[in-house]
Amino acid sequence: MNESADRPPRRRRALLSAALGAGIAVACAPVSAAPAAAAAVITAEHWLTPRTVQLTVATDAFAAPVPVEVTFPAGYEPGGARRWPVTYYLAGTAHDEATFRAIYDGETITADYPSLVVSPRGDAGFWSDWLDGSAKYETFVIDQLIPLIDASFATHADRAHRAIMGESMGGAGTLLLAARHPDEFAAAASLSGAADTNMPDTWNVVSIAPALQGAAPDAIYGPRASQEIRWRGHNPADLASNLAGVDLQLYTGNGVYDPAHGETQVEASVGCALESAAIHGPSVSTHGRMLELGIAHEWVELPWGCHGVALFQFEMRAAITRFEELFADPAAVPESFDYRSIEPAFEVWGWDVRADPARAAQFLDLHEVSARGLRVTGSGTTTVTTPPLFAARAAVTVTVDGIRSLVTPDAEGRVTVSVDLGPADRQQQYTPGAVASARTAEVSFEG
């Protein structure tokens, strides 16, 4: 399960088109028309400062093109031999792509930080694909923006040199995207993030957030009473086991005003109550869940801090210090992993998994996945395709719950296994009165 230094994008991603060109310090040339297969393309650029460019990206993830700001590190040269890490910054509720630079003085904070910082607009979308398909924030960042940035600029196009951080809604989004895509980010930092939507104060915020951009309440995941599985399938606390291979930082203030750290009375008037009521508790809850599961992480519970600029700047500086250390000495890719998802089909760490199409929405859990095998927990007939682990093998012995068979790998060295997990559950998990019948099967590979 080795990951190459510059591995290609996921197989499911659309082919993206972008190009480097001349600019004030560095630029990417606008693309006049996207090829038919493209899902996202840079159509314009506007230099805001000598270090920051605003890109306009046409994408099928939204009804209109979206702005993205890219801040370059000192010494960056277009077309130069040096490749650079990339840090993705996710803004809080109703903030935009300019927040990092214009409100938090991101250029000063990153003056000596050897990484591009990419900040897309997030509106009030909680960095998720919405239930009705009208907005696809997760799809845009993971499947479109990451490969677009790597194709357009001098980056290390690999997980080892890619980090993600964000404040408030962006902190929750950071943990969400890292948990659902742990093979994309080596490190993640939640800066006072609303990290556990199982807590009423937090889920109320997520419920009403779409109204800030003119949408109906609960547009993101649907009403929790009838769609709890969709809420949990996007909740960092429920997905904490997926984060075992990610270098994690989890920050929270405690709602106590402290002008010694630069906090103002304006921030205190609203930010203290917000940090203590909607941030501190969910962060403590997520921290506790990670401790329960043995997920290594850096927990920073500050003895001060109101939800505002001074707190976020303090947390950002600490987070990027750790990111820089990690970029200089990347951690190894995990030899095995656990992963859970509610999606009917997903790909993670090169493994392709497809649940029974007759199965209602529920969690499917993968345990101790490695080149030697895995355990699968769920319902229905689940299809698992390995990464290209067996390229030199004429046949592989596959054992599923004690039953052995010989399987011929495909041309790339992948093996596909059908795993019987009993009848597919027809009742959506967590629906009132629903009865789950998930079972676990053990799969091993030899030869």
Q: What is the pLDDT of residues 152-207, one digit of tens each?
A: 999 999 999 999 999 999 999 999 999 999 999 999 999 999 899 999 989 899 99
Domain membership of residue 4 (yes or no) is no
Residues 234 and 297 in one domain: yes
318 phi and psi angles, rounded to 5 deg:
-65, -40
**Is residue 164 domain-shared with residue 283, that is, in the same domain?**
yes
Nearest to 158 by CA among 144, 148, 146: 146
Instruction: Give the tens place of pLDDT for each residue, 269-301.
Output: 899 999 999 999 999 999 999 999 999 999 999
- What pLDDT score was predicted for residue 434? 87
Q: Report whether pLDDT(142) > 80.
A: yes
CB 167 within 8 A of CB 93: no
Q: Are residues 348 and 310 in the same domain?
A: no
Place of tokens 């012995």: 397
Spatial contact of 415 and 440, defined as CB atoms under 8 Å apart? no
Rounded CA-CA distance 382/136 in Å is 26
Whether residue 10 lies inside any domain: the answer is: no
Query: Are 252 and 397 in the same domain?
Result: no
Domain limit, last residue, from 304, 328, 352: 328
Identify the domain boundary among 294, 328, 362. 328
Domain that holds residue 369: 337-446
357 and 315: one domain?
no
pLDDT in tens, 72-127: 999 999 888 999 999 999 999 989 999 999 999 999 999 999 999 999 999 999 99
Report the pLDDT value the prediction gives residue 8, as an integer from 0 to 100. Answer: 35
Please check whether residue 261 lies inside any domain of the structure: yes
Q: Residues 6 or more apart from 393 whose CB is under 8 A from it?
A: 409, 413, 447
Q: Say which CATH number the domain at 290 has.
A: 3.40.50.1820
Establish if 5 belongs to a structural domain.
no
> What sign does the dihedral 72-78-84-86 (CA atoms) show?
positive
User: Are residues 418 and 285 part of one domain?
Assistant: no
Residue 80 has a pLDDT of: 86
Q: Is residue 13 part of a domain?
A: no
Helix (H) or strand (E) holding 319: helix 309-328
Q: 34 and 105: one domain?
A: yes
* Whole-number pLDDT of residue 29: 35
Are 188 and 84 in a shared domain?
yes
**8 domain-assigned:** no
- Sheet harboring 373-378: ordered strands across? 337-341, 364-370, 373-378, 439-446, 396-400, 403-407
- pLDDT of 1 above 50: no
Q: Are residues 411 and 440 in the same domain?
A: yes
Mean pLDDT of 131-147: 97
Query: Which residue(s) pair with 384 in the sheet?
Result: 353, 417
Asked if residue 318 and residue 209 are part of one domain, the reply reads yes
User: How far is it, in rounded angstroms, from Cα 447 to Cα 436?
Assistant: 36
Task: Measure the N-to-C terminal CA separation of the chain; round to a whole number of Å.
Answer: 16
What total of structural domains would you count in the chain?
Answer: 2
pLDDT band at 4 (very low <50, low <70, confident <90, very high): very low
Cα distances (Å, whole numbers) of residue 8 to 104, 194, 297, 350, 367:
34, 33, 29, 11, 26
Q: What is the pLDDT of residue 376?
A: 98
Say if pTM beats, i.e. exceeds, 0.85: yes
Domain boundary among 309, 328, 347: 328
User: Is 313 in the same domain as 183?
Assistant: yes
For residue 25, is pLDDT > 80? no
SS3 312: helix
The 345-348 sheet, strands edge to edge: 345-348, 351-354, 381-385, 416-420
Does 36 have pLDDT greater than 70? no
Condensed to tens digits (0 to 9), the pLDDT of residues 430-445 reads: 999 888 789 999 999 9
pLDDT of residue 20: 23
pLDDT at 121: 96
94 and 48 in one domain? yes
pLDDT above 60 (res 17): no
DSSP-derived letter for residue 297 is -
Whether residue 11 lies inside any domain: the answer is no
Average pLDDT rounded to a whole number, residues 402-429: 97
